[in-house]
Structure 1
Amino acid sequence: MAKLDQNKGSKLQSFFFIIVVPFIFAITVVLIILTIRGVDVFDYAGKIGNKIPGISNVVTTSNEADHARKTQQLESSLTSSQDKVAKLKQEVDGKQAEIDELNQQVEKLKSELDSANESKKEKSSTIKEVAKSFQEMDEKSAAPIIEKMDKNLAIQVLEKVPSEQRGKILGEMNPDSAASITNSLLAGNSQ
């Protein structure tokens, strides 16, 4: 029995040394020669491996690896771009809210300005009517009334009165009051 095991061992060794080792050596030499000649043996083997049904799942070609790598890079780039777009959308929304708020302020200021202009027109109209009343009055009656009025209002009224009538009214006023109003009238005209 020991002899039988030795025969099996020696047959296996013989097969290995006679067939397997020379086959591996031959394949190595062929690979070296083909590589020196410029043939991409592994790429070619991958293409052939992809055509064989069971092996195609295991073997990946360099094109497939490049494709997988590029796909992964593009997916990461897409994710990065989507993050940037989301941040920019948030900024746009914030800026739009700010613009809306500023537009509301502009509308409020416009309405205040319109209201102020309307009030100014009404005041101007009232001043014109008062000035017309003073034109029709006797200067002796008008002078004491203008002296007792607010100085700014008196100046506005006298600006609307014709200069001849204005002079007569100022002539009937207290000299200090008349001088003060005249100075203010001249200062207003020089501006």
Structure 2
Amino acid sequence: MKKTKQTEQLSNVEQEEKSGTFQKLLLWVLIPLLFTTALVLIIAKFADVNVFDKAKELTGSLPFVTEKKEEDPIVGDLVLEERVVTMQAEIQEKEAQLFKVQQDFDKSAIANEKLLIEQEKLLDEIAVLMRDKDNSKQDFNEIVKTFEQMSAKSSAPVITKMSDAEAIRILTSLKSATLASILEKMTPEDAAKYMTMMTKQ
């Protein structure tokens, strides 16, 4: 029982000491600090000093405290206008480049059309030449058949009156029996001339 009372008394004493320490802190530190702060604010009010502005200036000079500065609206507008002008210049430059590319594309399209037209013309000309060649080949074959049906006596003077190229062309296309009989009916000089030309081909 005595021990219990003693323990209670000890705990009461400890609590009083703890509360006494807090009260001492409150009395000796916090209350004077609050009083001094109030006194400084009152003096600053009478001296026309804005304490909050001064505090901002002091904290602004500290390296770890950064304050967002208010931008001048005129300067901000000028910067925006410069950016707009720059962007408009870029847009005009891009439009000029696009226009040039479009012109180049149009020119190449026109050139391609001309080439296609020229190609079609050349194909038509080739087709005409092929038809002419086929026709001339048919005509030539008919001429050769005619010479083969003619007598050697009548065909020899006709061949000697032709140009050398035409004569050689016909003579090389004839059958060997017909050729021999035609050469027999020619003068020896003409026969020798045509034989020499045929051997050179």
Interval of TM-score (by shorter of Structure 1 and Structure 2): 0.5 to 0.7
Partner of residue 178, structure 2: 165
Q: CA deviation at 1:125?
A: 0.9
Name which of structure 1's ranges 91-100 and 156-165 shifts more when overlaid on structure 2: 156-165
Distance 2:144 2:91 in 1: 77
The alignment yields a C-alpha RMSD, in angstroms, of 3.5
The answer for the alignment partner of 1:51 in structure 2 is none
Amino acid at match of 2:144: A
Letter in 1 for 2:156: A
Deviation at 1:90, TM superposition (A): 0.6
Question: 1:53 maps to which residue?
Answer: none
Residue matched to 2:4: none
Q: Secondary structure at the match of 1:41?
A: coil
* Pairing 1:112–2:125 present: yes
Aligned AA (2:173): K
Letter in 2 for 1:140: K
Deviations 1:126-154 (A, max 9, x none): 11111111111221211111111122222
* TM-score under structure 2 length normalisation: 0.62
> For residues 182 and 117 of structure 1, do their structure 2 counterparts lie closer, same or farther at Cα, with a shift above 3 Å needed?
farther
Matching residue of 2:66: 39
Q: CA deviation at 1:30?
A: 2.5
In structure 1, C-alpha distance between the alignment counterparts of 2:105 and 2:193, rounded to whole Å: 59
Structure 2: 5+ residue stretches without partners: 1-43
Percentage of pairs with the same residue: 22
- The aligned residue for residue 32 of structure 2 is none
Trace 1:121-136 onto structure 2 (pairs within 5 A). 121-136=134-149
* Contact persistence 2:144–2:173 (CA under 8 A): yes
Instruction: Compute the TM-score of the two structures, normalised by the length of structure 1.
Output: 0.65
1:41 to partner: Cα distance: 2.1
Q: Between Structure 1 and Structure 2, whose CA radius of gyration is higher?
A: 2
CA distance in 1, matches of 2:167, 2:136: 13
Cα 1:175–1:75 change in 2 (3 A) is: farther
Aligned amino acid, residue 105 of structure 1: E
The answer as to whether partners of 1:31 and 1:41 remain within 8 angstroms in 2 is no
Q: In the alignment, which residue of structure 2 is the partner of 1:3?
A: none
Among candidates 22, 29, 46, match of residue 58 of structure 2: 29
Number of residue pairs matched by the alignment: 157
Q: What stretches of structure 1 of length at least 5 have no aligned partner?
A: 1-14, 47-57
Q: Equivalences for 1:1-191 in 2 at 5 Å?
A: 18-19=47-48, 25-33=54-62, 36-42=63-69, 45=70, 59=73, 74-188=87-201
| Partner SS, residue 48 of structure 2 | helix
